[in-house]
Structure 1
């Protein structure tokens, strides 16, 4: 009887921890939205908290572009780092309409280590207060590992894994010396479980999640805020393998809507999807056992693959 009672208490404790852990992201979102109303003195302008220069990688389209624009609306100067010089100029002109300064750095992160010394030289005189590691590469369409060219696989690792590591390593010393700063590492909901048909992409985002949480513990005592941002599907060209995703929906916001929400959570929440409906989805996904999440994810990606194949077969006829 006594043993059964102890086991009951242990079971209740474990279940309680699991539920709280699953709901924590939603609780953090609620707290972040309510804080300005109940304790407005804790809400400071981002430039005052972290500094008036931000670096945003992968910033010419999608989330990166609109994240940079939202920061500019908050009076933060932007360093734009991406590979297309014409698009960089266009985004810089759009950002400067908000009365802030911009700097352009042309860099192709898929080239690997050779790009970083030049970026560091370009940033040497700029006191970067916010780093947004947004650059990323997605699959052209869901596929098994051996269907992906080796060059594409290495590009994905260089961009999704190496860039977040090298950019953080590059700018953390300056933030540490100033005693303040913020790093936002953009991961993905695909970090939740292994993804058959997205094996490399999903694994790269697990790296981003673990890397982000580790350096947070290393540098939070030194005044540096490190945010793990984990969006689910957003209507951007990264998902152009599916018209359903590009068309968007209540649960698939456009990049502008998503970025506006995510920037409002900067400095308030350490781990977040960045968008309240994604937070609810993420919570329910975590409540399911991993084997079920793997199966559901695989079925979903097979559906996207079929959609892509059907559309491309139709175009070739």
Structure 2
């Protein structure tokens, strides 16, 4: 009986400490959510940073929504993407709707020899905002060695997801530093916050974007430059193969309107309140449980996709 009393006391304090820790985490999350999304502050970007905003992958999804939100704030827009037809269509829509000047640059980001063309096209522009949004993922979750056309997939994902961020930043950052103002918004992914098996290359390249952004922000914040890493969970886009938005999978328009509020407030953001909560939950899981859930989810999607392909 005497030995049971100290053990009970120990368990009591373990339980109390756990509850206090969880309460503190929940309180911190609610405080952050209120500060970022609930106070109605203005987005930290606009023409005062520079006349032009450059958006890669700007004809669909998140990129197009960023272009529209920046145009709404009076910024002139440079859209960079692969299809000239899509570029012309989106450019026309933005210029007519928001009464701003637009430019287009048609390049394929899977190629490495495009940056001289981009540099020439951007020459002389007062660029205040760069949105590094272009990206690509797997067709479906798959084990590394079983990825179709593996060697080509490795090259494409690294070139599009990682190299483009470095190269575009290299082109635009010097002008921002010279003027001591500017914002670079790098669209990473929640897959870059924690390793995601069965999306191994995608997850790793997005982790690169996140680390690159954090380092760059620390290097240049004293020079008046904002560098933000944006880490969304699923958004209803073509890339995610989600057609209808839901409460946890918002439309690109809804996501970007929310994410814009975090610029100048958070240098690393999930961009959307529900996604922020999901990230907090993931962070609280022990690694073995996180990987078990992630593998189960990825394998479920993989099996469904392969069954569908066999039927077709």
Which band: TM-score by shorter chain? 0.7 to 0.9
Aligned residue number for residue 105 of structure 2: 105
C-alpha RMSD of matched pairs (Å): 2.7
Pairs aligned (count): 298
Question: Residues of 2 paired with 1:222 and 1:51: CA distance?
Answer: 15
Question: Residues of 2 paired with 1:50 and 1:229: CA distance?
Answer: 20
Change over 3 Å in CA distance of 1:34–1:253 after alignment to 2 = closer
For structure 1, the 5+ residue unaligned runs are none
CA contact (8 A) 1:136 1:159 kept: yes
CA contact (8 A) 2:214 2:229 kept: yes
Aligned residue number for residue 291 of structure 1: 288
Question: Residues of 2 paired with 1:44 and 1:282: CA distance?
Answer: 23
Secondary structure at the aligned position of 1:285 is classed as: helix
Question: Residues of 2 paired with 1:96 and 1:239: CA distance?
Answer: 28
Question: Residues of 2 paired with 1:132 and 1:25: CA distance?
Answer: 27
CA contact (8 A) 2:47 2:73 kept: no
Question: Residues of 2 paired with 1:250 and 1:44: CA distance?
Answer: 23
Question: Residues of 2 paired with 1:82 and 1:30: CA distance?
Answer: 36
CA contact (8 A) 2:43 2:263 kept: no
Structure 2 residue 189 is matched with structure 1 residue 188: yes
CA contact (8 A) 2:37 2:273 kept: no
Q: Which has the higher helix share?
A: 1
Residues 1-317 of structure 1: matches in 2 within 5 Å?
27-36=31-40, 43=42, 46-97=45-96, 98-112=98-112, 114-148=113-147, 149=149, 150-240=151-241, 245-314=242-311, 316=312
Q: 1:193-237 CA distances to partner (integer Å, 9 max, x unpaired)?
A: 222211100011111111100000000000001111000001111
Whose radius of gyration is greater, 1 or 2? 2
CA contact (8 A) 1:135 1:159 kept: yes
Secondary structure at the aligned position of 2:46 is classed as: helix
Q: 1:131-154 CA distances to partner (integer Å, 9 max, x unpaired)?
A: 000000110111111222211221
CA contact (8 A) 1:236 1:254 kept: yes
Q: TM-score, normalised by structure 1?
A: 0.86
Q: TM-score, normalised by structure 2?
A: 0.87
Question: Residues of 1 paired with 2:205 and 2:175: CA distance?
Answer: 26
Change over 3 Å in CA distance of 1:86–1:131 after alignment to 2 = same
For structure 2, the 5+ residue unaligned runs are 1-9
Query: How big is the shift at 1:24?
Result: 6.0
